[in-house]
Amino acid sequence: MLKTLNLGVIGLGQQGKTHLRNCLHLRRGRLWSVADVSKRNVNLAKRMGVKNVYTNYEDLLKDARLDAVIVTLPNYLHHEAAIKAAEAGKDIFLEKPLARNVEEGEEIVASVRKNGVKLMLGYDMRFNPVLRRIQEEIHCGFFGKVQIVDTTNVGSGPFMSRSESGGPTPVPSWWFDKELVGGGALLDLGSHLINLLSWYFGKVIDVKSYLGYIYNMELEDTAICILHFKDGPLATVKVGWFSKHNTQSIHICGTAENLLVRLSPSSTTATIWKDLKRKAGMFQQDPFYLELEYFVECLQKDEPPNPSGEEGLNDLRIISLAYKNMQKLAL
Amino acid sequence: MGGEQNLSLVSFVRVKNPDNRTLKEAIKESLDKIEFDFDRKVGKLVIKPNMCYYYHPSTGDVTDPLFVSALIDVLRENFPGNHEILIAEADASAMKCRYSFGILGYDKIADEKGIKLVNLSEEKSRTVEVKINGLDFQFHIPEIFSDSNFVVNVPKIKYMSGSRISCALKNMFGCNAHARKSVYHVALHEAIVVMNKLVRTDLVVVDGLFVVGRSTKQLNLVMASKDPVAVDVAASKMLGINPQRVQQIVSASKEGIGKMDFRPVGDFDYFRKAFPKRTFKDNARAKAASIYLRVLKGE
């Protein structure tokens, strides 16, 4: 019988709390410990039944009974936390992006290899059942030869409304600092689409991009990227942090078939329904749950999980090229 | 006609192709229509826009810095003498001024016009304790709102859960230096009225360039009045809500903050018809969502 794995969650921000809740329902792994600098968050985890809680993640890593960690820290801490986890011999599930830049990403991947641990990137779109089906259909030839793909992920990005039991909470300050976040909408939202498209179509050979700044920030809030794939189509990646409402879609145009999938906007009713389903424990279709279940399964079977660190690094290289080849939009 | 003389004037002016020049003209016209007298002694001019969150002005949720820029020009050109002009906003539960001033473009205006941006949450303030429905509340009133200073309230017009509408009265609720304003939400209407009693509005100039109704709409409206209650009555009529059913309007009127009867000057009917009102179905859906969220929060 396969061993039940002990998981630790490092960082209990918005995303960390999602993983925390999902960990409580995993079939193959159990939530063993959490670490967060905020005592309030740590107490929340305690109330949810987590016995081992820390305000310093290095203490969490010292626990020999811990098998793997789920790292959901701000971008500027990915490098340090992932390397320390690798050195502590823990397998790692790291929220995207891999790091703030290619250099940091390379060091993470090198450390993971050196220490013989596994690394998986948290790209939830890869576990969306509809998008997985599209991947199968592309490879089965359903679309014929795909010539053009158009992807969109526009919303409020870090400015999405955040709330806790005490009411609305502010956007964490690191999101406003280019140095700490590493990039704007392209890194934040574009990385999802770039990863998805690379999974669908393979190697990118050329990148062009246009970045816009409707808000007075150093970080781009608008980006359009055109990716040229070696064996496939031209694809656009359109992302933005400027809208109150979310729009996520993918439009695939092939010689044999076209398909437009709108992943959002979701109506209030749909959101409430989704929330009710989550509350009722119906996690089976939730990509955030599915990716964790898959990660644990890979560890149990001693198989390398995907999206891997190398894929995350490839995404960073494409984004880096997009920043290098960019033209500023006068918005 | 004699009765009409005692009504508060609320002006309605349409801006064509909004830019600094047309906005200045429209704002000046709106002030002339309410017979606003610039010839008075005032201290500093404190402009209070609505910067509720990091939304772009084209969403209709926040006061457009271009509008404020034109307003500054009008105030400068018409008030006698040199007055210090301040743009003031307080932190909110989810919004921090140190970021919103920059993101929304207010810091650029401050540089251009040589004016000061004031984060009210970082200003000296006095604490006023008020009992509402048996609960004790503390209101933190920045000293900048002293009697000698002239307060220009520059709100938006929008629907809002909790207070039903957000316009002049609700915008002054944001003058409280206390950032976690969600603590007042259990007695929101009353808290709005308290804040309007503690911080008197001298002039309201509504940025109705973009408004939030059923959807966002570019209405290109400038609305002005010396009476925040009258402005809210007009706004609620545009939103299709009976002002008698907006608790803060009725209470503010009873407290003498302003009058519920107003005399429109300008094409009020056009704006009332043009405003993107919510339908009965929209309201039912919004109410259901609001009830669900309250249940979620355990209220």
CATH number at residue B92: 3.40.50.11440
Same domain as A115, residue A9: yes
What is the mean pLDDT of the segment spanning A107-114?
Answer: 98
Residue of B68, B65, B69, B71 lying closest to B100 (CA atoms) = B65
The reply to whether A279 touches chain B by the CB within 8 Å rule is: no
Number of domains in chain A: 2
Q: Which residue has the tokens 């001033």?
A: B101
Q: Is the ipTM of this complex over 0.95?
A: no
- The C-alpha of B147 sits at a distance from chain A's nearest C-alpha, in angstroms, of 32
Cβ atoms of residues A254 and A147 within 8 Å: yes
Residue of B241, B240, B238 lying closest to B269 (CA atoms) = B238
How far apart CA A142 and CA A139 sit, in angstroms, is: 8
**Tens digits of residue pLDDT in A157-200:** 888 777 665 567 888 899 999 999 999 999 999 999 999 999 99
Instruction: Give me B247's structure tokens.
Output: 């608790």
**Tens digits of residue pLDDT in B135-165:** 899 999 999 998 779 999 999 999 988 889 9
Would you call the peptide bond into B80 cis, given omega within 30 degrees of 0 as the criterion? no
Residue A3 has a pLDDT of: 81
Q: Strand, coil or helix: what is B197? A: helix
Same domain as A59, residue A137: no
Distance of CA A302 to the CA centre of its chain: 22
What is the mean pLDDT of the segment spanning B224-229?
Answer: 98
Whether residue B299 is contained in a domain is answered as no
CA distances from B155 to B204, B211, B222, B226 (A): 8, 11, 11, 13
Q: Strand, coil or helix: what is A329? A: strand
Residue B295 has a pLDDT of: 67
Whether residue A293 is contained in a domain is answered as no
Do A161 and B56 lie within an 8 Å CB cutoff? no
Residue A14 has a pLDDT of: 87
Residue A251 has a pLDDT of: 96
Q: Give the residue numbers spanning the domain of B8.
A: 2-294
Give the bridge partners for B183, in sequence order.
Answer: none
Same domain as A119, residue A150: no
Q: Give the residue numbers spanning the domain of A179.
A: 125-282+308-328
Whether residue B252 is contained in a domain is answered as yes
Tell me how many residue pairs between chain A and chain B have CB atoms under 8 A apart. 57
Residue of A229, A222, A127 lying closest to A183 (CA atoms) = A222
**Tens digits of residue pLDDT in B59-89:** 999 999 999 999 999 999 999 888 899 999 9
The reply to whether A47 touches chain B by the CB within 8 Å rule is: no
Is pLDDT at B1 greater than 50 in this prediction? no
Whether residue A287 is contained in a domain is answered as no
Same domain as A264, residue A144: yes
The 8-class DSSP code of residue B15 comes to: P
Per mean pLDDT, which range of A141-150, B115-124, B280-289 is the poorest?
A: B280-289
Residue of B275, B250, B130 lying closest to B198 (CA atoms) = B130
Number of domains in chain B: 1
End-to-end CA distance of chain B: 49
Same domain as A110, residue A56: yes
CATH number at residue A91: 3.40.50.720
Same domain as A274, residue A134: yes
Q: Strand, coil or helix: what is B114? A: coil
The 8-class DSSP code of residue A3 comes to: P
Percent of chain B residues past pLDDT 90, beyond the cut: 79
Whether residue A234 is contained in a domain is answered as yes
- The C-alpha of B173 sits at a distance from chain A's nearest C-alpha, in angstroms, of 17
Same domain as A227, residue A158: yes
Cβ atoms of residues A262 and A248 within 8 Å: yes
Whether residue A298 is contained in a domain is answered as no
Same domain as A117, residue A9: yes
Whether residue A65 is contained in a domain is answered as yes
What is the mean pLDDT of the segment spanning B43-65?
Answer: 94
Same domain as A178, residue A106: no
Whether residue A91 is contained in a domain is answered as yes
Residue B281 has a pLDDT of: 76
Whether residue B98 is contained in a domain is answered as yes
**Tens digits of residue pLDDT in A48-72:** 999 999 999 999 999 999 999 999 9
Q: Which burial class, exposed, middle or buried, applies to B219 when counting CB atoms under 10 A from its CB (0-12, 13-18, 19+)? A: buried
Do B103 and A217 lie within an 8 Å CB cutoff? yes
Instruction: Give me B172's structure tokens.
Output: 């002054």
Same domain as A149, residue A134: yes
How far apart CA A153 and CA A101 sit, in angstroms, is: 21
How far apart CA B88 and CA B67 sit, in angstroms, is: 15
Which of B103, B106, B295 is the best mutation test for A, with the most CBs of A within 10 A? B103
Same domain as A151, residue A83: no
Instruction: Give me B264's structure tokens.
Output: 């429109």
The reply to whether A165 touches chain B by the CB within 8 Å rule is: yes
Q: Which residue has the tokens 């995993």?
A: A26
Whether residue A47 is contained in a domain is answered as yes
Which of B54, B159, B181, B184 is the best mutation test for A, with the most CBs of A within 10 A? B54
